[in-house]
Amino acid sequence: LCSYHNTYRLTLQYALWDFLRELGESDVGGLGRLSDESGSAVVPLRRIVNVAKLYAWLLSRQALSLLILKTVTFARVGDQARVFFQVMFTTLFTLHRKRSAQDEQTLFNVFHRAAANPTMCHGILFFFHHFVRNCELVAEDDRSVVKWGCRVAKQAVRSSVGTASFDDI
């Protein structure tokens, strides 16, 4: 559906921003909610994991772009949002296990498309370095896949942005 109508992509983007606000990220999506909700409620872990896996699948099929995360400040996400992004990115990497060169190229393209926003890419790579590479939520068998995915993402961003500022991440 997302490939046929842009309105579906926008709806999913706004739904993600609302969900992130529900997780306590009040600055996501610009002005925020108009209501007095503080976003401090605890969202069940099962819901966080299921939504993260949904968005990982949508990203892996390139139905959505990582640019939907352009308003997220990865350097200061809260605990619930951190778990959400850890699950989302590790699921994205495991969906593209290095079974073939096509898997690597598809994952490369996911991050290459996001290079239009270098600030966001820098934040994502920061998040990978501090929270994803050695994530305890990942099964022992999948740790090498996650590290591989972080390397592919870094290569995609570096080749697109063309700067050495990502070397320290």
Model confidence over 85-127: pLDDT tens digits? 999 999 999 998 866 777 788 899 999 988 889 899 999 999 9
Over range 48-70, report the average pLDDT: 93
* pLDDT score, position 40: 61
Q: What is the SS3 assignment for 137?
A: coil
Asked if pLDDT for residue 150 goes beyond 80, the answer is: yes
Q: Report the percent of the chain where pLDDT is more than 70.
A: 84
pLDDT at residue 164 in the model: 46
Model pLDDT, residue 102 = 77
Distance CA 150, CA 156 (A): 10
Q: What is the pTM of this model?
A: 0.86
Residues across the chain: 169
Q: Determine the Cα–Cα distance for residues 138 and 144; give it in Å rounded to an integer.
A: 10
Q: Which of 136, 130, 129, 135 is nearest to 150 (CA)?
A: 129
Tell me the per-residue pLDDT of 130-146, one tens digit each, with 9 for 90 and over.
Answer: 998 888 888 888 888 99
Q: Which of 159, 21, 32 is nearest to 81 (CA)?
A: 21
Separation CA 157–CA 20 (nearest Å): 24
